[in-house]
Structures are given as structure tokens and as C-alpha cells.
Structure 1
Amino acid sequence: MNPALQRGHAALQARNVMEAIQWFERALEEHPDDAQAMSWLGQTLCSVGRRAQGVEYLRGSGRRLLEKARQSGDIGPVLEIAQQMQQWGDFPGAHDLLGPAAALKGTEFRVFQMLAVALSQLNRTAEALEAGRRAHAIAPANVMMQVLLASLEADAGLDEDARGRLERILAVPPPAREAFRAHKELARVLDRLKAYDGVFAHLHAAGRLSGALPEYAQQNRALLPDMIRANTAGFDRDLMGRWSDTAFPQDLPPPVFLVGFFRSGTTLAQEVLGAHPQVRVADEADFVWAMQRELHRMVGGGGSTADKLRTLDHMGILHLRTFYWNRVRDRLGDAVGARTLVDKFTLNTLDVGLINTVFPDAKLVFVLRDPRDVCLSCFMQLMVASPATAHLLSWQGTTSFYATVMAWWQHIKPQLTMDVIEFRYEDAVGQFEATFQRVFEGLGLGWDASVKDFHEHAAKKYIATPSRTQVAKPLYASSVARWRHYEAEFAAVAGTLEPFIEAFGYEAF
């Protein structure tokens, strides 16, 4: 192994990431075609938020490994690099490797399984289903693949096929993880088939199984409620408006922050906004979270975010804005340019106090939806494990977490000093043009008729939320008042949701 590469590995083991990057860069300088050095440099750059650079190195490594595979017939290294690319959200790049790899070795289960995932994430539904069928044909006893194939069948509209497959899987109880996913998928399929009476039994079964899954069991469920309590106690109008009259440098402009609650319509909003030629959307990027970490690095000790913001002077705020924009450029490269950046991270709702303090000149777009439809959709949806989604595994947990977050929003909204544009998902569906004309006007952007074709743009790219298949289709109204199919299930949680139903102007139970 290249000595510089060895030293890079040693630096990583010592958790000195920046030193590791320097060694990997040296390894690549000494051996410019070294696919291994490219891979390690790419992974490490991605891990520190320099995704635009990191992905390019991963792609370069993949191209070289693919050339070697064409000579040797060994596609294993290609699959490893494709897996890394998928881990960092580069599904287009992964697909560019997996397609040729599948052509080289048409009997390899893993290549077709990964290809099915990549194509699914890119909304190429028919091709994803075909790849899934190829993988299943190679390994018909693989239960994980059976569940994935059922999901692909459902995405392709083959709901009866998916239902039969999932019921057969569950008839011979599979391992907990596959059973959990199968119950979630079957609930989704039964809902689409209007077999409403069977949906909640599968959702409750999935919830019971989730306790056996380490990725959910290890989540700190107290983290976000504790954070909300600290923010409620710490943020006020005086703190958030402290820098409202400050003129900030033009190269540190205020983004637009798009927030709400899970499944409230933020992905629809991001795709409509992103279809405007003067807008660039960052989809579920960690810019605000990273900025908060930088604040805690700047101001040591165990104080709250609000307490630490109070200690900053003007230069401190400028540092945080500079850090934020450096993180954006590391992630997106030069893709933003002169366009308006829309930073869409749904649960940045919890950090609007921090956002308002650092970016008092920003605009905040908040998407509301009927609380009953929000909670139903959250409970039904299979989501990546996190401290937030760990609350969405039970019906009571889902509605309680919704109430906690939205009570915070009700508390902080009147105290915000930045401009807030709030709209309802139902209005976007029923009065699309009028609703989004108002949003674009509030953002200082002219109306562009091309945004009406947002679904065509969405169908051609990777979207980092479970709503990717919905926003790749023209608007439909079937998701409005969907909760009425499950009215009996709401009796147990009505007291939790009623204050928000009334406050947001929705029809009572």
C-alpha cells in the first residue's frame, strides 16, 4: 500500500480527519490513477461536509475500478464504491456504475439489488422493478429482497401483487427487521387498495417489532423534547432581533428556510420552488445543524444554544454566517450561483430561534397540513431511524411528538423577527397557482409558469424524502382528508390533536 495512504488510515484511526485528508491528497498526488486513494479521499471529504468534492473523487474511483472490472471480470470493488456513493446520496453516480456492472456479470445478486435501489431513488419505477425481479430470480429465498420487490411493485401500481407477496412473507414469520418492513409496506398497500380495516393492525404490529431493531432502540427519544424545552426557555424576541438592523455582506446573503413537520407538504413546496429558474434548493442538508455545532465549538461549556448566542458579538454572528455558506459551497459546489438558496430541512422547525438570530434578514416558509393527515401519514411511512422518527413508531408517540413540535411553533412564531410565509398544503393542492404566487411574491421572486410542471423536474432526480414518488406526479387531492378513512383510530388521540386542529383552522372531528 502507498505509504501516504497508510498514514491517512492511521490518521483516521486516531480520529484526525483533517490530517487524513492531507495524507490521502498526497497519496493521490504521488499516484494520480490510484482508485483506492480516490475512494478514501472521497469518503473522507464527504464525511466533513465537502460533498461536492468528495463525490467527484468517488466517481473517479468508480470509473477506474469499472475499467479494471472489464478486464478482470471482478465487479466486487465496483459494488463497494457504488455503495459508498449511495450512502452519500449520489444515486445518479452509483447508477452509472451499476448498469455496466450488471451487464458484465448478470448472475450477481448484489448488483441487481443495488441497481433496483438506485433506480427506485431516481423515480425510474419500471426499470427499478425489472432490476428487482432480476435480483429476486437470482436469490428467491432472500426475504429482504422479497420485501424490497413488494415495495417496488407497489411503487409501480401493482398493489395486488405486492399485497400477495407481503402476506406470504408474513405467513412464515421472517426475522424482525424484515417483518417490520413488511408490515409497514403492507399497511401502505392496503391503504391504496382501500382495504382500510386492515391497515392499523399492521402499523401496530410494526411498532411492536421496532423495539427489537437496534437502529431504533438506540435512539435518544428525550433529545428533541429536551431541546424544545431549552429553546422555549431560552429564545425570545430580544435575542432573535438583536441583529435585525445590521447590514450583512453581500457574499453572506440570507437563505430562504423551508420548514414544517414531517409529511406536511414541505417536499411538494421544495419541488415547486426548485422548479423556478432563480431558485436552488438544498434538500434535507445539515447546514443549520452543522452551524449549531460550530456555535458550541466557539463557545464552550454546557450552556444552551440560546445562552451561547447571547455571548456573541457582531463578528461572532458573521463567523456563523460564513461557516454556514462555506458548508453550502462544500455541499453544492458552485450550483447556487446568483440564485436564491432555499434550505429545506423539515425539522429545522426546532431551530428557528437559532436561524432567526443568525439570519434575521431571512425569510421562513412554513407549511401546514391538517394534523390528522400529518400524523396518519407519519405513522404509516417507513422512515430512516433518527431521534425524531423514533417517536413515530406508535400511534400515541406520533401524535404526542407532533403536539410537542407544533406547540413550540405556536410559542415561537409570534416572537420571530424575520419574515414568515405560512401556507396550507390543502390550499396548494386546491388553489395551486394562487397559493404559490403568494409564496413567490413573499420571496421577492416573480411568477414563472414553468413551476406548474414541477413534477416533471422531480421525476428526473434524487429526492431525499419518502415523498419522492408522490411529487414526481401531477397534483392529486386523494391525500386531503385521508384521515376520514380511519376516524375510529383518532378517538384515542383526539384530545392531543384537537387544539392544533382548531388553531390551524381545520374542521373539527
Structure 2
Amino acid sequence: MVAIKPDIASEMKRAMSAGQFNQAAKIGARILRLHPKRTDIEIMTAVSELQAGSLANAGRRLKRLFHALPVKDRFFAPVAQNFRQYAYQSNDFAALETAIRKRLGTEPGNGILAYMLADAIFQDELSKSPGVCVAPRLAEAIDALGLIPAQSAQYDDAQLLLARIHFHQEQHAQAFDVLEKFVARYPDNLAVQMMLATSYAAANEASKAVSTCLAIISANPLYSAQPYLIISFMRPKSMPDGAVGYLDAMLDKQDLANAERYKAAFARGRIEEAKGNMKQAFDFYKRGHAANRAERPFDIVHERKELARLRDMAGETPVWDPAVAAEEDGPQAIFVVGMPRSGTTLTERILGAHPDVYAAGEVGDFAKAVIDVVGVGPISEQLAGIDRKAAARIRKQYLDALKAYAPEKRFVTNKTPANFMRIEMIRRVFPDAPIIHTHRHPLATCLSIYTTPFSVPMRYSDDLGELAEYYRGYVALMKASFEADDRGQMYDLSYEDLVSDPEAVARDYLAHCGLDWHPGCLEFYRSDKAAATASMIQVRRPINQD
């Protein structure tokens, strides 16, 4: 009879199952003193340390294992996965990247390590800027993925990561090319078809987006709510028969992921809104917001305090040295700020139709430059850290980014709405840059925010009371910013005025930016440039007051 060996990790496993991760980590450390070669125990200990918040201990342990284990070892994959998780939790992608580069130095051409390097670079860039930005390091990531041969086991994963990088950078043609080839190889892969449909939608390729969504629905009508959501906003008359029943079936599922519930509810709301059933539509939007709040909690008290801190900091003296401007070349900055759905896209599109202006859209380069120079943290803390030296570095990095977008233009615009929270930051670094603040009737703004399914939902909009409170905080911050605007840097632009008398208003704010009038500015809708915004359908049409 074979004796059954006792499980030396049983006590540790019980502690982990009970959520007692501090205790589990201590047990693991004790076991490892007696059994130092038990890699499985070491991994479990690192996982427990991650869960317990002992990030430094987990990082040291995972880094050691990452360097010690052969790539083909059965434990290498979980070590790499948890090392990546450590980087997420600690925001220390540099440590992960350094470790991967060290391994690649001795194992050049290793597909697993090349993929990991590209992913680490991409995740590091995402941690600094969730939006598109000038990121030369992403070119290295793309090159690393391109070296992985088609016969490699990592090839498919590498191609999908490549598509995500192109999508993030709004390189739509490149994303299409990668994803279309992938779908041709794997026509039954609905997840990749969904990525392709989303890419088409982001580029405003409505026909391709809708046809791909319809193909997904035909293959599996309950696969995802995303195809219905895309159709409901891009071409609602193409909604297939039975869509309501399928979406309701999804919403009835108790185990439906909150992100899917959010999309399904908004698709249903949009369908009812198109029928004129506003009460039913609003009920569905409310259900969607409830799902998002369950997934992504929000602290309105914390946000209100941050807005108040920024309000108190408005009007401080710029720290940038204007003498530096004489040495600068290339395009200068224009900022368009305001609440979402307040007219920032229309305002920028009119500017972008001017021959001297490049409309960059909602780019993250300014926020990224600030993070690179003063670090991550609340905007008020970042602002407090911007002295003359920091301002010069931020300014140079941002102007270099603008030069990369359009070196031949006089101006490059940035229309990230949330930069209204960075107005004081902008004034410290760019006291010479025009800032156009767009606003719209509060009810129109808040209703539009509430009923729009943003790709990254606005957490403050999940509760109508908190949305109103956030809006009041925004209004107070803007009031303080304008009161402190002694140099006339800011321009207050009413969306209602713009659509009522577009030429007069556009002439005025172009003049504020130092631009002569150009008749083509009101024909912005003829441009082929995609607008990565919820307003992408509207900006393809002439100005109207809808």
C-alpha cells in the first residue's frame, strides 16, 4: 500500500481560501525556510503577498523567480503572470521591463520574452496616458512583436497585442490590417471579430462596423451586447429582428458581467429612445449606470474636495520663463477644455479645418508630460510640484510631442475635456497658450453625459445627484479660473451661440487664437479624419442645433 504524503501547504491553502492573505504569506515564508526549492509554495506566497498588499516582498520574490526559472519551466508562466500583476498594483512597470530586458540579453529572439517586453512597454504607456499620445517607446514594442515569426506559439497573441497598440494610437488602417488577417485565419473567433467591429466604429467606418456586428449576432446572438450597442448608435435602422429579446435575455442573467450589463442596458435604452419611449429609455440608462457603479465605485466627497483644492490654487503666478520661447520652433499649443458633451469636438473641428492648425483630438500628451516630470498623483498634488524647472521640462516634452504630430503647422490643438481640471497647470507651463472653454446648458450637458455610453464611462455620472454635484464643482472651478485670468488667456465659448451663429462665433475664437478667418473652417465635416469621441457621428455633418 502506497502511503499518501501530507500536503505541507494545506494550512496555507485554507488561509488563502478564507481570504487571510497576511497569515497565508507568513505560513508560506515558514514553509520555504524548510523547503526552499518548492517553487509552487514560493508562487503561492507571492500571490498571498500581492493580495495582502505586501508589494515590496512580492516584487522581490517574483523578480528572483523570474530570473531563475527557464522560460520552458512549467512554473515560468504563473511567475510571469504574477510579476505582471505586481507591476499593475505597484505601477512599477519599469522593474518588470528591466527584468525582461535582462533575460532577453541572454536569450535574444525568445518569443515569450519579446511578447512580454512589448506588453510591459504598452502597459507602462497606458498607466501614464489612457489616451493616444506621442510614444516612441511603442515603436519598440511594435518592432519586438514584428520579430515573432508566424510559426511561433506566441504569434497569435503578438498579433492581438499589436492590434491593441495600433487601436490605442488611433492607427486605424494598421489595426484593420492586423485584425482582418486574423479573422481570415480564424473566422469563428468572435472575440477578434468584436475587436475588428470596435475598431471600425472608432474610425467611423459605419458600414463595416455594422456589417461585422451583424455577422457576430448571426453567429451567436447572445455572445455580447457590444454589437447591439454599436448598431444602436451608428445605424439604428439596421438593428436585427429579435434584438430586444436577446438584450433582455442578457439583462435577465444573474451572472452577467457588469461591463456587459452596462452595454446591454444602454443598447436597450437607445432602442427605446429611437422609438420615442423616453421613460423606458431612461429606466434602461439607469440600469446601465447601476451596473457601472457596481463595477467601478466612485467617491464624490473625495472628488469634490479635489475640485475645491484646484479652485483654491487658481491664479497662482506662472513659473515658466517666457525668455525660453525665443528658442522654440515648431507648432504652439491650443487647449480646448470643458465638460464632456459640451461642444469640445465641434470647436476643435472648426479650428482643425484651418490650414495653420492640426486637430490632434483627445490626446494624453500633456498629462503624460506632467506624470513623467512630477510623478503620478492627484492633479492638485502634481500642480503643487511644478516649479520653474519642472515647468520647463513639461513644456519641452509637450512641444516636442506637438512637433511629432504636425511639424509644419503653426498650432496643434488638444481637446481633452478633462483638462479643465488642469487649467492652472496649463497656465503655469503655457501662459502664452490660448485656452478655449466650451460650455452648454447644464441640463443638456448632464443629460447627454448620462445617456452616452462612453468607452470609459464617467463614474461621476452614475448617480444623477452626484452628477449635479460634480457639475456644480466644475462651474465653481471655472468661475475661479476666469476670475484669475488677468492675461486674457481664456475664451468662454457657448455651444448654443456657436450653433446659432457659427461664422461670427468661430471668427471670434479663431482671432483669440491669433488666427485669421478661413472660409473652410465651417466645412470641417468634409474632413476624412476620424474623431475618437462619442460625438463622431455629429462631426461628420454640418452644424445644426439638434
Q: Which amino acid aligns with 1:378?
A: I
Structure 1 position 352, deviation (Å): 0.9
| Structure 1 residues 317-336: aligned runs within 5 Å | 317-326=391-400, 328=401, 333=404, 335-336=406-407
Alignment pair present for 1:378 and 2:487: no
**2-side partners of 1:64 and 1:301: how far apart?**
39
- Structure 2 unmatched ranges of 5 or more: 1-65
Compared CA separation, residues 410 and 226, structure 1 to 2 (3 A):
same
1:456 maps to 526
Letter in 2 for 1:98: L
> Aligned to 2:289, which of 204, 207, 222?
207
Q: State the Cα RMSD in Å.
A: 4.0
For 1:29 and 1:441, the matched residues in 2 are separated by 59
CA 1:345/1:90 → structure 2, altered by over 3 Å: closer, same or farther? same
2:514 corresponding residue in structure 1: 444
1:84 deviation in Å?
Answer: 4.2
Question: Within the alignment, does 1:190 sit opposite 2:248 as a pair?
Answer: no
Q: CA-to-partner distance for each residue in 1:153-184, whole Å, 9 max, x for gaps?
A: 22343348369514542256132432322222
| SS, match of residue 360 in structure 2 | strand
Contact 1:102–1:108 (CA under 8 A) maintained in structure 2: yes
Pick from 230, 236, 239 the counterpart of residue 158 of structure 1: 236
Name the counterpart of 1:141.
222
Cα 1:106/1:254, change in 2 over 3 Å: closer
Which of 397, 401, 406 is 2:466 aligned to? 397
Q: 1:133 to 1:403 in 2, by over 3 A?
A: same
Q: Distance in 2 between matches of 1:156 and 1:294?
A: 37
Deviations 1:313-336 (A, max 9, x none): x4443233224335x26xx73534
Contact 2:361 2:532 in 1 (8 A): yes
Residue-by-residue CA offset, 1:332-384 (whole Å, 9 max, x unaligned):
73534443121221011111112112211111111121111101100101124
Q: How does 1:346-361 map to 2 (within 5 A)?
A: 346-361=417-432
Aligned-residue offset at 1:416: 1.6
Shift of 1:412: 1.8
- Select the structure with the greater relative contact order (CA < 8 A; seq sep ≥ 6): 1
Which structure: larger Rg? 2
Counterpart CA distance in 1 for 2:218 and 2:144 is: 30
Q: TM-score, normalised by structure 1?
A: 0.76
Going from structure 1 to structure 2, the CA distance change for 1:271 and 1:163 (only over 3 Å counts) comes to farther
- 1:427 is matched with 497
Q: Per the alignment, in what secondary structure is the counterpart of residue 468 of structure 1?
A: coil
Q: Percent identity?
A: 18
Alpha-carbon distance in 2 for matches of 1:468, 1:344: 14
Tell me by how many angstroms 1:247 deviates. 5.5
The separation in 1 between residues aligned to 2:353 and 2:470, in whole angstroms, is 32
Match of 2:358 in 1: 280
- Residue 57 of structure 1 and its aligned partner are, at CA, apart by 4.2
Matched position secondary structure for 2:335:
strand
Which of 288, 308, 317 is equivalent to 1:240? 317
**Structure 2 Cα separation of the partners of residues 223 and 336 of structure 1:** 40
Where structure 1 has 5 or more consecutive residues not aligned to the other structure, the ranges are 479-509
Describe the superposition over 1:224-260 as per-residue Cα deviations: whole angstroms up to 9, x where unpaired.
3222111222333xx2356586563442775111101
Distance change (3 Å), C-alpha of 1:62 and 1:297: closer
SS state at 1:68 partner: coil
Distance 1:360 1:29 in 2: 49
Deviation at 1:406?
Answer: 1.3
In 2, Cα distance between equivalents of 1:130 and 1:355 = 43
Classify the secondary structure of the residue corresponding to 1:464: coil
1:85 — aligned with what? 166
2:332/2:433 contact within 8 Å kept:
yes
Query: Deviation of residue 426 (structure 1)?
Result: 2.0
- Say if 1:191 and 1:53 are closer, same or farther in 2 by CA, change over 3 A: same
Q: 1:385 to 1:156 in 2, by over 3 A?
A: closer
- The question of whether the paired residues in 1 share the 8 Å contact of 2:266 and 2:288 is answered with yes
Give the residue type in structure 1 aligned to 2:502: F
Query: Which residue in the other structure is 1:413 paired with?
Result: 482
